[in-house]
Amino acid sequence: VWVVPLALLAALPVPAHAHLVNSGLGPFYNGTLHLLLSPGDLLAVLAVGLLAGQSGKASARGAAIVLPLVWGAAALDGPALGTVADLGWLQVALLTLLGVLVAAGIRVSALGLASLAALTGLIHGLENAGALAASGSLAVAGTAVAVLILTLLTAALAVSLRAAWTRIALRVGGSWIAAVGMLMLGWLLKGTS
């Protein structure tokens, strides 16, 4: 008896939000949730944070500053730059590279890591520029703050790991990120054939 009304209720159309999440909490939190609900962006931030923490405190500080600043600037300036080519291939390649660096246990210099963080921020900021800029600068600020906090927390966790088994777990996390990057590469290749 109650199944029919539930089925009818489930069949009612509701508004769909294709890219930017509309939380009802305002544009700042919409931007924050955008990062947390975009798997590719979230993995990129985690990968930079893990690599930063693995590379030491100085590298981690630089990456934590550069990544959100470049991400936010690219998201704000993206519409002014006009149409940017599809950056999917570059995102996937960079994600895979970051994962491989973490999995291999490589410590990157502060300058090298800042460059990788800047490239990550630029690519992801430009890729999300249309959706974020359409919601205003508060949405961009929300995303940049979420990138900052997540990078700081991930890097701090990675820096604090001392036991051998925890360092191995960090490297396993990097291998999973690299594996996700390779899976995404396969999907991109399948889509082009």
pLDDT digits (tens, 9 = 90+) for 16-42: 544 455 656 788 888 888 888 889 999
Read off the pTM: 0.83
Counting every residue written for the chain, the total comes to 193
Q: Is 111 exposed, middle or buried (0-12, 13-18, 19+ CB in 10 A)?
A: exposed
Q: Could you tell me where the beta strands, DSSP code E, fall in 25-155?
A: none
The 10s digit of each residue's pLDDT in 135-161 is 788 889 999 999 999 999 999 999 999
